[in-house]
Structure 1
Amino acid sequence: MDATFPLYMASVAFEDITSSLKMFACFDLQAWQELHISKVSNSLTIIINKIAATPLLVNGPNKKPM
């Protein structure tokens, strides 16, 4: 896996959160929660799992993972 993949996933989740906040301006809280909370939660879960699965590098990117 590319080392930048967790950062990419974080940016995707950030976009989900910001789009959800924009939607919040148009809908009441209940509708916003129903439409977006599970999507954002799933995105964050994916990020956490990808970061946890990313091997730690020893002394830089050219060394073997731990």
Structure 2
Amino acid sequence: MATWVTHFRITEKLLKAELPVSKIEFLIGNIGPDCGLIAKDGKPTPPKETTHFEIDGNINSDSFYQ
């Protein structure tokens, strides 16, 4: 998975293309899921299942929307 910096740079490029989106929400939505902390065991906290709205290894768009 790309780092949050990579997500941020891609987001900047997309915003320069003048997408019809709210800039703040778009930026947060692109970098937020990868801004957790790495625990002593090397696993991200909160886990990817939480930050990426995964259920059984798949993104659950309804959970994301809610």
TM-score after normalising by structure 1: 0.42
Name the structure where strand makes up a greater proportion of residues. Answer: 2
Higher relative contact order, structure no. (Cα contacts within 8 Å, ≥ 6 residues apart): 1
Greater per-residue helix proportion: 1
Larger Rg: 1
